[in-house]
Amino acid sequence: MAEALKTDALVKRYGRRRVVDGVSLSVREGEIYGFLGPNGSGKTTTIRMVLGLIAPTEGSVELLGRDIADWGPRSREGVGGFVETPTFYPYLSGEMNLRTYADLSGGASRAEVHEAVALVGLEGREGDLVRTYSFGMRQRLGIAAALLPRPRFLILDEPSLGLDPHGMKEIRDVMLRLHREKGLTILFSTHLLAEVQLVCTRVGILQLGKLLYEGPLEGLLKAERTFRVRTDRAERAREVLSAHPAVRAVGVEDGFLTFEADPEAVPVVNRALVEAGVRVYELGPGAKSLEDVFLEMTSHGEKVL
Amino acid sequence: MVFRLFRIEVRKIVRRRDLYVSVALVAIFVAAFFYGFARQNWDAWFRGHKGAVYRALEQYSRIVLHRPFNLSEYTNGIYFTGMAVGFSFHLLIPIVASLIGGILVAGEAKDGTLRAVLIRPVSRSQLLLAKFGVAIVYLVLVMAFYVGSCLALGVPTFGWNHILAFNNAFMQVGEGRGAFFVMEPSEAIRRLGLVCALGGYAMLVVASLALFLSTLFDSPIVPIVGAVGLYFISLILGTEAEGFFEEIRKYLFTSHMFFWRNLFAKEIPWGDVGRDLLWCTGYTAGFLLLALVAFRVRDVKS
């Protein structure tokens, strides 16, 4: 599958500090890619390098197959987006702002501008000065601006930042619509895990400038080796698990016995429990959410895959 | 592409309220100057400050024109406009040039719109050239408003007549700085047009300096104050401390910006004017080149 974005060993250094440290991302065309990381992990710096706002110290970036070092500004043709919060000329109307930004990318027809306005639900307000817009309206106008004229790839930096749950849902719905109806590839950065679980097909996790994980969301959760089991004889089960060579770190959590093991070893462990006379009522993956995984990964800063 | 960017920049600046500050400044300056000019007792002033000129004019009227000398004929609307333009080119227009030059990049950086522009497929060099083009248009419009206001106020109030001009200088003449001569109104207006065009061209040095500083900072205050400050430092080193800084004087940009005074000489010294124009072109091109280099390599973090 063609890649909308490919970075190779991207580095940004300020003095001796490596803000982005050898990040190699791969965003495939047609997917919604969640770029995850806690505040200060280097997400925005990476996006700035991708969009040509800052120069990489090392490494390369390809946007829609075009190397930004070779193509210069033209590498951003077909790419829309915003970095941090979307910004506008407050003394211009919403529509005039959209036309101004669209003109920088080759121009958009009146119908296209109105379609973008309608898509983000700002009909009736496009003639008002942007200085009268609420924060949420500006975010939505930012997406409308990124849609002009006809991008194939959207890069949105923290599109839900500062929005209330209602506004966050609206932005999510807009992204899903754009992906579904227009087939856009979308990369969006966030530190909100719930958003990622609801929207993304693949994720990249950044911590302290390093890419800890890149791949499908399920892969990230599958990568976990924690399982939990409910039995009729907890003490006996604990003895069996503790003695089993494939099992590590037996514990208790929320009334369940928990243990770590390779996923392939779980049927063997189950048989061992049954053969030891323990009735197994429930055996499955640990209750770790994406949040648990994320916190665990980013607090250790280790590469898990 | 540059032309499209230029159109977009024009669209933006015509709606920026803060850029109308210059127009307001100009209007206040013209009004104050008009008031001062109207209140001035020119006869007493000329007798007191330019006695020799006054006496020569009396003789000139009696012997050449065969009529009594009347100074108010010379302190007319064109003279008022010329004086106002002379003052403005020293103080007001350089500030306006710094304002527009300083605000164009740093103002957008401060508002965050610079990053929104630069993530589009836009060449930074072309964007900067378009912004410089806008600075030129802005300066031309402010100066046109300025000269137009002066003529619109001055001519109906003080009349339309010939003016006194002095070799080597127009308004800042002192005793013995050169012979005076009387200039016909049509010629005076032509010369005034030349002063505005070429004097305005010299102001691009300040505008390009401010634009260069504007590419280095994320707040417009620094480049505006910086350009005005450097202008006055250069002016002081080149004039007030004349002699002491003789060696560096010819390299100061302000030493080559006031050639427009010579445009009111009886015979315009085109050689000197051309040389200064070349200096100004060099400074403008130099600052613009620095701005282009700085802007192209700048990391936009605002």
State chain A's mean pLDDT as an integer.
89
Write down the ipTM of this complex: 0.81
B123: nearest CB among A73, A88, A101: A73
Q: Provide the domain limits for residue B151.
A: 2-40+75-296
Q: Give chain B's domain count.
A: 1
Report the percent of chain A where pLDDT is more than 70: 94
pLDDT surpassing 70 at residue A301: no
Does residue A2 or residue A162 have the better pLDDT?
Answer: A2
Residue A110 confidence class, pLDDT cut points 50, 70, 90: very high
Summarize the confidence of residues A256-270 as an average pLDDT. Answer: 88
**pLDDT tens readout for residues A111-132:** 999 999 998 889 999 999 999 9
**pLDDT tens readout for residues B139-169:** 999 999 999 999 999 999 999 988 877 655 5
Between chains, do B4 and A84 touch, taking CB under 8 Å as contact? no
Choose the weakest-confidence range: A47-61, B54-68, B143-157, B261-275: B54-68
| Contact (CB, 8 A) for A141 and A94 | yes
- CA-nearest residue to A97 within chain B is B12
Residue A261 confidence class, pLDDT cut points 50, 70, 90: confident
In a domain, residue B70? The reply is no
pTM above 0.95, yes or no: no
Report d(CA B236, CA B241) in Å as an integer: 7
**DSSP label of B177:** S
In a domain, residue B66? The reply is no
B8: nearest CB among A54, A73, A100: A100
Q: Amino acid letter at A108?
A: A
pLDDT surpassing 50 at residue A188: yes
**pLDDT tens readout for residues A89-102:** 999 999 999 999 99
- Predicted confidence at residue B176, as pLDDT, reads 40
Residue B48 confidence class, pLDDT cut points 50, 70, 90: confident
- Predicted confidence at residue A224, as pLDDT, reads 63
**Direct distance between the N- and C-terminal alpha carbons of chain A, in angstroms, rounded to an integer:** 22
- Predicted confidence at residue A288, as pLDDT, reads 62
Residue B175 confidence class, pLDDT cut points 50, 70, 90: very low
Chain A residues with CB-CB distance to B116 below 8 A: 82-83, 86-88, 101, 145
In a domain, residue B250? The reply is yes
Cβ contacts below 8 Å, chain A against chain B, sum to 79
Sign for the pseudo-dihedral over CA of A3, A102, B297, A89: negative
- Predicted confidence at residue B172, as pLDDT, reads 40
- Predicted confidence at residue B171, as pLDDT, reads 44
In a domain, residue B49? The reply is no
pLDDT surpassing 70 at residue A302: no
In a domain, residue B211? The reply is yes
In a domain, residue B240? The reply is yes
pLDDT surpassing 60 at residue A304: no
- Predicted confidence at residue A221, as pLDDT, reads 65
Considering only CA atoms, which of B263, B264, B255, B260 is closest in space to residue B282? B255
Hey, what are B281's tokens?
A: 């072109």
Report d(CA B262, CA A246) in Å as an integer: 97
Rounded to the nearest angstrom, the minimum Cα separation between B9 and chain A is 9
In a domain, residue B18? The reply is yes
What domains can be seen in chain A, in order of their start residue?
Answer: 3-220 (3.40.50.300), 225-287 (3.30.70.100)
In a domain, residue B45? The reply is no
